[in-house]
Amino acid sequence: MSMENSDAKRCVRCVMPETYPGVAFDEQGLCNFCRHFDKQWAHRMGNPEWQSRSEEKLQRIFDKAKRKKKTYDAIVGISGGKDSSYMLYLCCEVFGLKVLAFTKDGGFLTDESKARIEKLVKTFKVPHLYFYDPLAPPLSGIFMEKTGNFCGPCELSTFNMSAIIAREYDIPLFIIGSSSRSEAGAPKNLNPWDPWYFRNVMKGEHYRERVRCSCYGRNYIVREGIARLLGKRRLVVLPDYVEWDEGKIKELFAHKYGIHFGEEHSDCIASPVAKYLYTKKLGGNDPSVAKLSLLVRSGKMNRETALEKLSEMQDNRPPLMLDSFLKIIGITRQEFDIASERTPDPYLTGIPRMFNKIRKKVRRQAA
């Protein structure tokens, strides 16, 4: 049975429904997500001159980093997914950067993604650091019970480990592959991960002492902000500068390197659980409706195909692997069911709420 209501009012251009949190239509029926996308990116679409200038700007950033003659020009986190794999390809094969790759495993990497990571490292001949975070599973359980979302600890530790490695090796470029041009994540208020929010959630928890001497113990967002102001390091959102076509990326890796990617976010075993939770909090809308809408806006898919894919989606049901996931994070099914109705809102006060607004603006996202 399809989970999508065919009678729901949708944007006349993309497929965003009126029941999606934060959506608003103008008099012509165009949604605010489309209007925001056009403001940020429409001037680039099908504009070779703009694309050329953008790539020239990126090349200048890279050349400046190379002139510093550090051991490594850039740090690139790889999860075995298509975006991080493409980042590694561009940095190594196209732009000739000296890259230090790293992987942060919170216990949720799939065997499939681990195999891809191993092949990527060998293919591109890059030094690779692998970090296992033993605190991620129990902290995910705490966050799930309190906020109805378990992703925060993994998100924060991934950023912090990147910052720690970049500082340790004095690396001038911090490369990421997630942009509002290519990704349509959940609304920021459903997936916060900043250190202020982390501290709010952890108040009163016995794990607080254990995290003091871990990668969670310092505010690396502030430290990286200072490093940016001092010209020591720069964050580069790669899809903001170069074309990012998922179909072409998959084709490139399949034909040139024999590397194949699975479904969206197939690098994380927790992805089906996250999808189930987000659907409950998004007015019953599968979170992929936002991604399908983005593909329509960017000309990567027509609206009819997107609607067809939505019609094929099934009712939101707990994923088959839910019990095994709950065993990893240490909570019961009853505790999970109760927590699934909660949101991060009670812990998004003061600085966390302000950071979420800044984060949305920096990443050029509508919500």
- pLDDT tens digits, residue range 156-180? 999 999 999 999 999 999 999 888 8
Q: What's this model's pTM, rounded to 2 decimal places?
A: 0.90
Question: Do 71 and 98 touch, CB atoms closer than 8 A?
Answer: yes
Residue 45: CB atoms within 10 Å:
14
Cα separation, 152 vs 164, in Å, equals 18
Residue 59: CB atoms within 10 Å:
12
pLDDT tens per residue across span 275-328: 999 999 998 999 999 999 999 999 999 999 999 999 998 788 999 999 999 999
**Does residue 154 sit within a domain?**
yes
Cα separation, 142 vs 155, in Å, equals 15
Q: Is the pLDDT of residue 239 over 50?
A: yes
Q: Please, which pLDDT band fits residue 365 given cuts at 50, 70 and 90?
A: low
For residue 30, the one-letter residue type is L
Domain with 162, as residue range(s), is: 43-269+321-362
**Does residue 299 sit within a domain?**
no
Computed on alpha carbons and rounded to an integer, the radius of gyration of the chain in Å comes to: 20
Q: What is the predicted pLDDT for the residue at 234?
A: 95
Cα separation, 307 vs 292, in Å, equals 9
The rounded mean pLDDT for the chain is 91
List the CATH number of the domain containing 63.
Answer: 3.40.50.620
Structure tokens at 49: 């001159």
**Does residue 292 sit within a domain?**
no
Cα separation, 16 vs 293, in Å, equals 6
Question: Do 172 and 69 touch, CB atoms closer than 8 A?
Answer: no
Q: Which of 198-202, 253-257, 358-362 has the lowest mean pLDDT?
A: 358-362
Q: What is the predicted pLDDT for the residue at 1?
A: 37
Q: What is the predicted pLDDT for the residue at 346?
A: 94
Cα separation, 303 vs 121, in Å, equals 38
**Does residue 8 sit within a domain?**
no
Q: What is the predicted pLDDT for the residue at 9?
A: 93
**Does residue 294 sit within a domain?**
no
**Does residue 227 sit within a domain?**
yes
Q: How many structural domains is the chain composed of?
A: 1
**Does residue 206 sit within a domain?**
yes
**Does residue 216 sit within a domain?**
yes
pLDDT tens per residue across span 67-92: 999 999 999 999 999 999 999 999 99
Residue reference for tokens 């340790």? 168
Coil, strand, or helix at residue 260? coil
Structure tokens at 81: 């997914």
Cα separation, 323 vs 160, in Å, equals 29
- Residue 265, sorted as left (phi over 0), alpha (psi -120 to 50) or beta, turns out to be left
Q: Is the pLDDT of residue 20 over 60?
A: yes
DSSP-H helix ranges across the chain: 32-37, 48-67, 82-89, 111-124, 136-147, 152-169, 195-202, 208-212, 220-229, 246-252, 271-281, 288-297, 303-311, 322-329, 333-339, 351-362
Structure tokens at 126: 């890059």
Q: How many residues does the chain have?
A: 367
Q: Which of 64-68, 185-189, 227-231 has the lowest mean pLDDT?
A: 185-189
Residue reference for tokens 């994540």? 185
pLDDT tens per residue across span 95-131: 999 999 999 999 999 999 999 999 999 999 999 999 9
Please, what sign has the CA dihedral across residues 182, 188, 190, 192? positive
Please, what sign has the CA dihedral across residues 181, 186, 190, 195? negative
For residue 9, the one-letter residue type is K
Cα separation, 61 vs 50, in Å, equals 17
Longest dimension (CA), the chain: 59
Residues 6+ apart with CB under 8 A from 265: 81, 271, 274
